[in-house]
């Protein structure tokens, strides 16, 4: 799968680090915040479970407390303090859950505290959690990419195209691929051209020639590639679009 993506779209741009994501969230990126929370739910559940001494699921009240605490940690995190986000979040989650447990009458006889040793252990566990989360995320993304490619392959058949053809007919040079993507982007942005492609299952070469600063010969030579990129931009393809975006922004 990675080879196929590389052949079609070039290397993807470098992903944001966790600290960079947190900075974007603190600047108001709500979508990224929701994605980060979703990704780290296993980490939150593990931190909460270590305090409750039982397996915690998303239906438990304690998990909700942990979720709120993790979100608070993201908003308050400052890398200049020295600790990692996960270490900071782990301690904050445990403290918030302990406060919640103490407030519940059924736990009034339980004595709970986080000492220095627990905080040190939490730093080690956060590293383990990070590795586990990264592995889970890689596997999930690989599965989603595979499913997306299978779905897109079905769409290509409607246009008498295939991935093998695209690999063979893709522009050989990076600049040429990028220019072809820009042509596809222009097509998608102009409703008349987009509808022509969708209805006739053909590339509106003449109209495109008038809309872009690319020769007709170049458009015809890259016809199949431009069609495929246009279909990706039109469709609901999270990973394929991300690769195209990475190329266009370089």
SS (H, E, C) the chain: CHHHHHHHHCCCCCCCCHHHHHHHHHCCCHHHHHHHHHHCHHHHHHHHHHHHCCCCCCCCHHHHHHHHHHHHHHHHCCHHHCCCHHHHHHHHHHHHHHHHHHHCHHHCCCCCCCCHHHHHHHHHHHHHHHHHHHHHHHHHHHHHHHHHHHHHHHHHHHCCCCHHHHHHHCCCCHHHHHHHHHHHHHHHHCHHHHHHHHHHCCCCHHHHHHHCCCCHHHHHHCHHHHHHHHHHHHCCCHHHHHHHHHHHCC
- Provide mean pLDDT across the span 157-172: 87
Please report, rounded to a whole number, the percentage of residues in the chain having pLDDT higher than 70.
79
Hey, where are the domains in the chain? 18-142, 159-248
246 compared with 29, residue with greater pLDDT: 29
Residue 130 is predicted with a pLDDT of 52
pTM of the entire structure?
0.51
CA gap 94, 126 in Å, rounded: 12
Q: What is the mean pLDDT of the chain?
A: 81
pLDDT of residue 180: 92
Q: Which pLDDT does position 120 carry in this prediction?
A: 45
Task: Give me the pLDDT at residue 20, please.
Answer: 82
Answer whether residue 17 shows pLDDT above 80: no
Contact call for residues 162 and 153 (beta carbons, < 8 A)? yes
Percent with pLDDT over 90 in the chain: 32
Task: State the pLDDT at residue 136.
Answer: 60
- Mean pLDDT of the region 114-141: 54
What is the tens place of the pLDDT at every residue in 175-221?
Answer: 888 999 999 999 999 999 999 999 999 999 999 999 998 999 999 99
pLDDT digits (tens, 9 = 90+) for 81-108: 777 888 889 989 998 998 888 887 554 5
Classify domain 18-142 at the CATH topology level.
Answer: Rna Polymerase Sigma Factor; Chain: A (1.10.1740)
Quote the pLDDT of residue 124: 46
What pLDDT score was predicted for residue 32? 87
Q: How many CB atoms lie within 10 A of CB 51?
A: 22
Q: pLDDT band at 123, cuts 50/70/90?
A: very low
Taking the C-alpha atoms of residue 28 and residue 65, their distance in angstroms, rounded to an integer, is 22
Are 90 and 122 spatial neighbours (Cβ–Cβ below 8 Å)? yes
């Amino acid at each position: 799968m990675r080879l196929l993506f590389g052949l079609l779209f070039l290397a993807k741009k470098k992903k944001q680090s966790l600290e960079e994501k947190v900075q974007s969230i603190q600047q108001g990126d709500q979508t990224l915040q929701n994605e980060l929370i979703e990704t780290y739910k296993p980490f939150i559940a593990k931190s909460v479970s270590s305090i409750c001494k039982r397996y915690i699921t998303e239906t438990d009240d304690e998990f909700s407390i942990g979720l709120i605490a993790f979100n608070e940690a993201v908003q308050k995190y400052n890398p200049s303090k020295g600790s990692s986000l996960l270490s900071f979040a782990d301690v904050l989650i445990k403290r918030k859950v302990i406060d919640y447990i103490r407030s519940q009458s059924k736990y009034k006889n339980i004595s709970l505290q986080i000492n220095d040793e627990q905080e040190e252990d939490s730093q080690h566990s956060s590293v383990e959690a990070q590795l586990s989360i990264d592995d889970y995320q890689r596997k999930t993304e690989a599965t989603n990419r595979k499913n997306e490619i299978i779905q897109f392959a079905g769409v290509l058949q409607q246009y008498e195209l295939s991935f093998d053809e695209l690999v063979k007919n893709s522009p050989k040079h990076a600049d040429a691929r990028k220019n072809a993507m820009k042509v596809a982007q222009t097509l998608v942005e102009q409703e008349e051209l987009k509808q022509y492609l969708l209805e006739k299952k053909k590339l509106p070469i003449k109209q495109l020639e008038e809309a872009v600063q690319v020769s007709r010969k170049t458009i015809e030579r890259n016809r199949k590639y431009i069609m495929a990129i246009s279909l990706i931009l039109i469709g609901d393809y999270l990973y394929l679009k991300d690769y195209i975006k990475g190329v266009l922004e370089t």
